[in-house]
Amino acid sequence: MHDSRSPSPRPVLLAGGRVLDPSRDLDIKADLLIADGIIKDNASGLSSEGLPDGTEIVDCRHRVVVPGLVDMRAFIGEPGAEHRETLASASQAAAAGGVTTIICQPDTDPIIDDPAIVDFVKRRARDTAIVHVHPMAALTKGMEGREMTEIGLLSAAGAVAFTDANHSIPSAQVLRRALTYAREFNALIVHHTEDADLTGAGVMNEGELASRLGLAGIPRAAETIVFERDVRLAAMTRGRYHAASLTCPDSLDVLRRAKEAGLAVTASASINHLTLNERDVVGYRTFFKVAPPLRDEDDRRALVSALAEGLIDVVVSDHNPQDVEVKRLPFSEAAFGAIGLETMLAAGLRLVNDGSLDLMTLIRAMSTRPAELLGLPAGTLRPGRSADIAVIAPDEAWLLDAAQLKSRCRNTPFDEARFEGRVVRTLVSGRTVYEYV
Amino acid sequence: MTSNLKAPFTLSRRDLLGIEGLSAGEITGLLDLAEEFVVLNRQVEKKRATLRGRTQINLFFEASTRTQSSFELAGKRLGADVMNMAVGNSSLKKGETLIDTAATLNAMHPDLLIVRHSASGAVELLARKVDCAVINAGDGAHEHPTQALLDALTIRRNKGRIQGLTVAICGDITHSRVARSNILLLHALGAQVRVVAPPTLLPRDIERFGVEVHHDMRRGLEDVDIVMMLRLQRERMNGSFVPSVKEYFHFWGLDEAKLRYAKPDALVMHPGPMNRGVEIDSAVADGAQSLIREQVEMGVAVRMAVLDALSRTLPGNLPNA
């Protein structure tokens, strides 16, 4: 990253904040000293001791200091769709949202299914992005669902997991072989669980509301059927499997049974499904058209409970920039997707503020747990580790203005939303990459 | 006519996008106004000057001879200049977005825009981008408000009321905007509504619309006052939603035998165009209990009423002028 472009940043002392580190179940009032890009020490009263020359002291009273977020599912348009998002613009949005590591999806143009493209993305990110970026590679060549990619070589090139992004793999045989083969490289397979036939022309959650709006529905079973199949394949193969975005109680039951059986099965939920529901699409609002579709309020509550109890491992932004040409259309014709890098933490804090879960759980699911699953040295404030940090002002009330977002596209479902709590400073490898003033 | 003596009926809205949101009073007001136009339409001199100087554009993204000509006639009889946009032949279909189209049309300063589109919500989206009154002539599987109004007018003229009647809507409910608008309107005016269809042609959670759900035609038609048949699109007949035309007609097609389960004075309706021998038998369609031709006549009157009522609130018009 930027280390190659400029000398290492001056030391920073984050003084007097509430330091919350899910990797150690730590929640204390302390100072955090950062120098040479790494966390040097954390204890109370560091400021009175001899600090390195030129240390910048940041007053973090009434602030929460957490490990920077690791967003496990973000689409970035580079290469091939730079009008939607570049690695640079996505990283600016990420930094403003406290995200210090982006895991980008392989459904670019060309598709990330070749080690040379993994290498390209990593180099572009190093040269243009202000946060860490790691690509997932395609699980099948061309994401066509037929032949597995070079999982070993792609891993060696730096792909952190394997997925066909928004495509579900119809063939159980292909997925079985991939799970079996990937074990050799301890590779994680991330799968979008959706039966394409059952989804059909569906554009929102199937049910009364879709019937009233005259929109084709997507049944919950389209997700659960595929996920249930996948869990059986995970049991057969003992491969490492991660469901990309679960949305409903039936899928959560399958997940619970898989975990109870000791399978290496984990799952994400998107911030959209945790904080919004199908009522938001009333008025044919296409910024709420996402895949899988927003479900009803009971589904949302079940998903939040599953996150609170640790059943859902990871919260993702599912960042998907779409320009107005593909969003300002009749609902059934509009593209799926919503941006989320910049708002996922603020939206997640709603769940903390309404008492649904504690901050430790939220940060674990947005940082520590995805880092563990992907084998990344992130998601922790342990001394000696890279200083990837977000500083949160938990009581700061604010109104989202989509025009102020840093993403190239403005398709946020949170325009004019009220939030309580925001990121005020983000550090990546010890350097402040975002500061709210 | 006597309407000159009282204040003309107006709708307190710019657009008619659906039955949803209309009060029973507004619906009844429109039906009463339409009655006056039924009388007018049967005279030799059918013209009014209500819309003189006004421009009406019929914008049909989905072809429809019947509804489009009905709106055209309605506008012309009220004195408007009516233009039909042939969407299929223009740039509108070649990549221009609906919003671009709206902006283009808006620049021509129409007063009334009649829109049909295959996507649910498309007419509402377009209405947000123009300054004139917009009438939904059918959007996807969502709403078709003037069809529901003309159906209600037809029923009221034949039964004297809507309140307390039992109406069975039969056929492809899933893909039908006519069914949705009719359910809303009939409920607003106090009728009981049943839907009768094979399970594959019923939308999810339809019972939450407050309708009685039947799969068997005989039981579904038992003691009903009105049988409303819906058209089954050809592409849904061959195995995708129902196995075959033959089987569909056998179980769900309206013939004289099935119609006998309804009340003896039950009346039969169809929004057209009919598939004879698919959802309805010719003997019933052309029989004594059929209101199908009258529906077409009422269509013109109802659309005149809607144009009249909406035009009263257009800029440049005094509500009581």
Give, for all 321 residues of chain B, the pLDDT tens digit: 444 556 789 898 999 999 999 999 999 999 999 999 999 999 999 999 999 999 999 999 988 889 999 999 999 999 999 999 867 655 555 567 888 888 999 999 999 999 999 999 999 999 999 999 999 999 999 999 999 999 999 999 999 999 999 999 999 999 999 999 999 999 999 999 999 999 999 999 999 999 999 999 999 999 999 999 999 988 777 778 999 999 999 999 999 999 999 999 999 999 999 999 999 999 999 999 999 999 999 999 999 999 999 999 888 765 444
Residue B49 has what pLDDT? 95
ipTM for the predicted complex = 0.92
* Residues B11-22 pLDDT 10s: 989 999 999 999
Residue A131 has what pLDDT? 98
Which 8-state DSSP code applies to residue B169?
Answer: E
Residues of chain A contacting B203 with CB distance shorter than 8 Å: 210-211
Residues on A contacting B at a C-beta cutoff of 8 Å: 206-208, 210-215, 217, 219, 283-284, 325, 328-333
Spell out the residues 6+ positions from residue A175 whose beta carbon is closer than 8 angstroms to its own: A169, A189, A191, A230, A233
| Interchain CB contact of B141 with A (< 8 Å) | yes
* Residues A202-247 pLDDT 10s: 999 999 999 999 999 999 999 999 999 999 999 999 999 999 999 9
Q: Select from A328, A329, A331 the Cβ nearest to the Cβ of B120.
A: A331
- Sign, CA dihedral A76-A79-A81-A84, equals positive
Q: CB distance A284–B121 less than 8 Å? A: yes
* Dihedrals phi, psi of B96, to nearest 5 degrees: -70, 135
In this structure, which long-range contacts are made by residues B219-222, counting pairs with CB atoms below 8 Å and at least 24 apart in sequence? B219/B261, B220/B168, B220/B170, B220/B194, B220/B195, B220/B196, B221/B168, B221/B170, B221/B196, B221/B258, B221/B259, B221/B261, B221/B262, B221/B266, B222/B261, B222/B262
Q: CB distance B204–A217 less than 8 Å? A: yes
Contact by Cβ (8 Å): B168, B155: no
Q: Looking at A37-187, which runs of residues are DSSP E strands?
A: 38-43, 56-59, 64-67, 69-74, 99-104, 132-135, 162-163
Q: CB distance A328–B97 less than 8 Å? A: yes
* pTM of the predicted model as reported, rounded to 2 decimal places: 0.94
Helix B65-77, helix B145-159: angle, nearest 10: 80
| A283 — pLDDT class (breaks 50, 70, 90) | very high
* Token code pair at residue A145: 């669902």
Contact by Cβ (8 Å): B136, B18: yes
How many residues in chain B?
Answer: 321
How many residues in chain A?
Answer: 437
Residue B293: other Cβ atoms inside 10 A: 11
Please identify which residue in the block is written with the tokens 């180099």.
A123
Residue B92 has what pLDDT? 54
* Token code pair at residue B247: 């089987």
* Residues A76-113 pLDDT 10s: 999 999 999 999 999 999 999 999 999 999 999 999 99
* Identity of the amino acid at A58: V
Please identify which residue in the block is written with the tokens 């997507």.
A218
Please identify which residue in the block is written with the tokens 């949160």.
A392
Q: Is the peptide bond before B198 cis (omega within 30 degrees of 0)?
A: no
- Count of H-run helices and E-run strands, chain B: 11, 9
User: First vs last Cα of chain A: how many Å apart?
Assistant: 25
Tell which residue, B130, B139, B83, B125, has the closest CA to residue B102.
B130
Distance CA A407, CA A404 (A): 9
Residue A7 has what pLDDT? 66
Q: Select from A208, A328, A330 the Cβ nearest to the Cβ of B121.
A: A330
CB within 8 Å of chain A, chain B residues 35-74: none
Q: Among A39-48, A300-309, A375-384, which stretch is predicted with the lowest mean pLDDT?
A: A39-48
pLDDT exceeds 90 at position A51: no
Rounded to a whole number of angstroms, the distance from the CA of A333 to the nearest CA of chain B is: 8
DSSP A179-213: HHHHHTTT-EEEE----HHHHTT--EE-SHHHHHH
Interior/surface letters B211-227, b for 16+ CB within 10 angstroms, e for the rest: beebeebeebbeebbbb
The region that residue A207 occupies, defined by phi over 0 for left and psi between -120 and 50 for alpha, beta otherwise, is left
User: First vs last Cα of chain B: how many Å apart?
Assistant: 16
Helix (H, G, I), strand (E, B) or coil at A425: strand
Residue A116: other Cβ atoms inside 10 A: 9
Residue B6 has what pLDDT? 67
Tell which residue, B268, B305, B304, has the closest CA to residue B70.
B304
Query: How many CB contacts within 8 angstroms connect chain A with chain B?
Result: 64
Helix boundaries (H) for A9-63: none
> Which is the catalytic residue, given A296, A318, A401, A415?
A318
Q: Is the peptide bond before A11 cis (omega within 30 degrees of 0)?
A: no
* Token code pair at residue B192: 């009981």
| Interchain CB contact of B119 with A (< 8 Å) | yes
Beta bridge partners of A175: none
Residue A335 has what pLDDT? 97
Q: Select from A217, A283, A332 the Cβ nearest to the Cβ of B140.
A: A332
Residues of chain B contacting A215 with CB distance shorter than 8 Å: 120-121, 140-142
* Residues A384-393 pLDDT 10s: 999 999 999 9
Rounded to a whole number of angstroms, the distance from the CA of A196 to the nearest CA of chain B is: 16
| Interchain CB contact of B196 with A (< 8 Å) | no
Helix B177-188, helix B24-41: angle, nearest 10: 110
Q: Which of B93, B100, B125 to mutate to test the interface with A (most CBs of A within 10 A)?
A: B125
Helix boundaries (H) for B236-313: 245-252, 256-259, 282-285, 292-311
Distance CA B245, CA B50 (A): 47
| A3 — pLDDT class (breaks 50, 70, 90) | very low
Distance CA A124, CA A65 (A): 29
| Interchain CB contact of B140 with A (< 8 Å) | yes
Contact by Cβ (8 Å): A321, A337: yes
Q: Looking at chain B, which runs of residues are DSSP E strands?
A: 55-60, 81-86, 112-117, 133-139, 166-170, 192-196, 212-214, 226-229, 267-269
Identify whether A318 is a catalytic site residue.
Answer: yes
The residue of chain B with its CA nearest to that of A334 is B119
Rounded to a whole number of angstroms, the distance from the CA of B105 to the nearest CA of chain A is: 17
